[in-house]
Amino acid sequence: MRTWIKNPLAVWTGNDLNADGGIVVDDGMIAEILESGDSPAETVAVEFDASGLIVLPGLINCHHHFYQTLTRAFPAALNKELFPWLKALYPVWAGLDEECIALSTELALAELMLSGCSTASDHHYLFTDEVADAVDIQVSVARRLGARVLLTRGSMSLGDSDGGLPPDSVVQDADTILAESERLIGTHHDAAEDAFVQIALAPCSPFSVTPELMRDSAALAREHGVLLHTHLAETSDENEFCLARFGKRPLDYLDELGWLADDVWVAHGIHFDDDEIARLGAARTGIAHCPSSNMVLASGLCRTRELEASGVPIGLGVDGSASNDCSNMMQEVRQAFLLQRLRYGAANITHHDALRWATTGGAAVLHRQRLGSIAPGQCADLALFDLAELRFSGSGDPLAALVTCGAHRVRHLMIGGEWRVSNGEIPGVDLEQLSASHRQMAAKLAGKACSPAATSGA
Ligand SMILES: [Zn+2]
């Protein structure tokens, strides 16, 4: 049904087009945008009154671990930096089962959608016999909710007995990882420009994966035309690990493995020197900047301006909800704005920069050119915010107010032309019931970790 979203308070298109007169949507795509006072060229079936609403392109989350919603503010992991934080949580995550994956995926996606996110990437790297089909479960949940997802088949193959960080109980052998990766690409990956489900391959990090698996994953991804993802240069501990084990810094390690390329995006990308930033830019390797996680774990501060100036696409990621500790994409826009402004100064980082990273930047990182902006021919993914809460009262510039006053929840969210959030609710999802089930599951998972079997390393 051809729909005219009319009379918006403001529209941020992500380009230099003006859509102050509204947006016409048809068959899942944006058919037309209108300047103030204009009318649609063709008859529309529905006129949607957007008075008082600010319209953004649907936000794009470039890095997450949905399952970690089950271990937020986990007492044993509080007040730690990355390596000890991970070591506190690996034994808990070893207890994941299929119901955990389904519930955590649904909760994380619901939370993201309510915050204006229409496309989310997830990095699931923890596979045991209990959750061998984690990505298949995520696909079915995402399809039910109508969210666009880029699900990465993560992996860990370097256990502590071989000098890696994770316990042996949560690593897999390379043959299993590669066979499963190929199966998931064949089963779920859709290469279309308006795809709802895509797959990428994502060996977890230099300290949890062997170099051979990094090389083989890259070869497999390139054979099938899917993207590659990993964590890189997140902490100075990681730099020291790479120097000690491989005799080189993380970026040299990545380069040697054939990963310094434009079909790769890395999470965090903090600890790079000037020469490394120039090499990343020349290769057009993308970065998912995760400000909240970087602050919670005191990991450091991504050099966004130098990276962008060198040609690196920058997107935003909420990262796992155990290090954020939430999955709110609009809040992450504000965190990026605040953190980067602290580094570069008030005149050099504006709300437009932060919104750009969350929209067109994310689309470039994930190679989704039909997403992240509002223009004819783009996918109809739109986030509509109002300024009804006390926090916005008295604000002047409505677009700036979303970022500076702290918008955190959409009124409506359209994905592919369908309303997936309507008046602050997700049709078909009982949020109270979902939250109750998820809380119960988190308590059960924490209980398993405290059982004698788990603490003895079984
Ligand atoms: Zn992460």
- DSSP letter string, 226-255: --EEEEES--HHHHHHHHHHHSS-HHHHHH
Question: How many other C-beta atoms are found inside a 10 Å radius of the C-beta of residue 167?
Answer: 16
Q: Ligand 1 centroid to 35 CA: how many Å?
A: 41
CB 372 within 8 A of CB 363: yes
Tell me the β-bridge partners of 55. 11, 384
Q: Ligand 1 centroid to 151 CA: how many Å?
A: 13
Q: Ligand 1 centroid to 29 CA: how many Å?
A: 32
Q: Ligand 1 centroid to 13 CA: how many Å?
A: 29
Q: For CATH 3.20.20.140, list the domain ranges present in the chain.
A: 59-365
Q: Ligand 1 centroid to 195 CA: how many Å?
A: 24
In angstroms, what CA-CA distances link 166 with 85, 88, 170, 411? 11, 10, 7, 41
Q: Sheet with 418-421: list strands edge to edge.
A: 10-11, 53-57, 382-386, 412-415, 418-421
Q: Ligand 1 centroid to 389 CA: how many Å?
A: 32
Q: Which residues contact 65 (CB under 8 A, 6 or more apart)?
A: 122, 123, 124, 125, 319, 320, 321, 322
What is the H or E stretch that residue 44 is in?
A: none
Q: Ligand 1 centroid to 93 CA: how many Å?
A: 14
Q: Ligand 1 centroid to 63 CA: how many Å?
A: 6
What is the H or E stretch that residue 122 is in?
A: strand 117-124
Q: Ligand 1 centroid to 267 CA: how many Å?
A: 6
Q: Ligand 1 centroid to 228 CA: how many Å?
A: 14
CA distance 38 to 179: 55
Question: How many other C-beta atoms are found inside a 10 Å radius of the C-beta of residue 35?
Answer: 11
Q: Ligand 1 centroid to 154 CA: how many Å?
A: 11
Q: Which two tokens stand for residue 287?
A: 């970065």
Q: Ligand 1 centroid to 222 CA: how many Å?
A: 23
Q: Which residues contact 328 (CB under 8 A, 6 or more apart)?
A: 111, 112, 115, 318, 408
Q: Ligand 1 centroid to 223 CA: how many Å?
A: 26
Q: Ligand 1 centroid to 293 CA: how many Å?
A: 8
Q: Which pLDDT score is estimated for 449?
A: 77
pTM of the model: 0.97
Question: How many other C-beta atoms are found inside a 10 Å radius of the C-beta of residue 404?
Answer: 16
Q: Ligand 1 centroid to 319 CA: how many Å?
A: 5
Q: Which pLDDT score is estimated for 452?
A: 52
Nearest residue to 435 (alpha-carbon basis) of 96, 94, 114: 114
CB 235 within 8 A of CB 271: yes
Q: Ligand 1 centroid to 64 CA: how many Å?
A: 6
Q: Ligand 1 centroid to 5 CA: how many Å?
A: 36
Query: In the CATH scheme, what is the homologous superfamily, with its name and number, of domain 59-365?
Result: Metal-dependent hydrolases (3.20.20.140)
What is the three-class DSSP state of 128? coil
Class of the CATH domain delimited by 3-57+373-421: mainly beta
Q: Ligand 1 centroid to 323 CA: how many Å?
A: 9
Q: Ligand 1 centroid to 49 CA: how many Å?
A: 39
Tell me the β-bridge partners of 383. 56, 413
Dihedral of CA atoms 138, 144, 149, 155 in degrees, nearest 10, equals 10
Q: Helix 174-188 and helix 134-145: axis angle, to 10°?
A: 20
Q: For CATH 2.30.40.10, list the domain ranges present in the chain.
A: 3-57+373-421
Helix and strand totals (H; E) in the chain: 16, 17
In angstroms, what CA-CA distances link 187 with 84, 135, 181, 182, 256? 36, 11, 10, 9, 31
Dihedral of CA atoms 419, 425, 431, 432 in degrees, nearest 10, equals -160
Q: Ligand 1 centroid to 101 CA: how many Å?
A: 17
Burial 275-287 (b: 16+ CB within 10 A, else e): ebbbbbbebbbbb
Nearest residue to 358 (alpha-carbon basis) of 415, 315, 405: 315
Measured over all CA atoms, what is the biggest interatomic distance in the chain, rounded to whole angstroms?
Answer: 70
CA distance 440 to 99: 11
The string of DSSP codes covering 373-441 is: S-STTSB--EEEEE--SGGGTT-SSHHHHIIIII----SEEEETTEEEEBTTB-TT--HHHHHHHHHHH
In angstroms, what CA-CA distances link 332 with 217, 267, 292, 434? 30, 15, 7, 23
Q: Sheet with 22-26: list strands edge to edge.
A: 29-34, 22-26, 3-6, 46-49
pLDDT tens by residue, the chain, 458 residues: 999 999 999 999 999 999 999 999 999 999 999 999 999 999 999 999 999 999 999 999 999 999 999 999 999 999 999 999 999 999 999 999 999 999 999 999 999 999 999 999 999 999 999 999 999 999 999 999 999 999 999 999 999 999 999 999 999 999 999 999 999 999 999 999 999 999 999 999 989 999 999 999 999 999 999 999 999 999 999 999 999 999 999 999 999 999 999 999 999 999 999 999 999 999 999 999 999 999 999 999 999 999 999 999 999 999 998 899 999 999 999 999 999 999 999 999 999 999 999 999 999 999 999 999 999 999 999 999 999 999 999 999 999 999 999 999 999 999 999 999 999 999 999 999 999 999 999 999 999 877 655 444 33
Q: Which pLDDT score is estimated for 119?
A: 98
Sign of CA pseudo-dihedral 71, 75, 76, 80: positive
Q: Ligand 1 centroid to 206 CA: how many Å?
A: 13
Q: Ligand 1 centroid to 28 CA: how many Å?
A: 31
Q: Ligand 1 centroid to 349 CA: how many Å?
A: 25
Q: Ligand 1 centroid to 199 CA: how many Å?
A: 17
Tell me the β-bridge partners of 414. 382, 419
Q: Ligand 1 centroid to 20 CA: how many Å?
A: 37
Q: Which pLDDT score is estimated for 448?
A: 85
Q: Ligand 1 centroid to 72 CA: how many Å?
A: 14
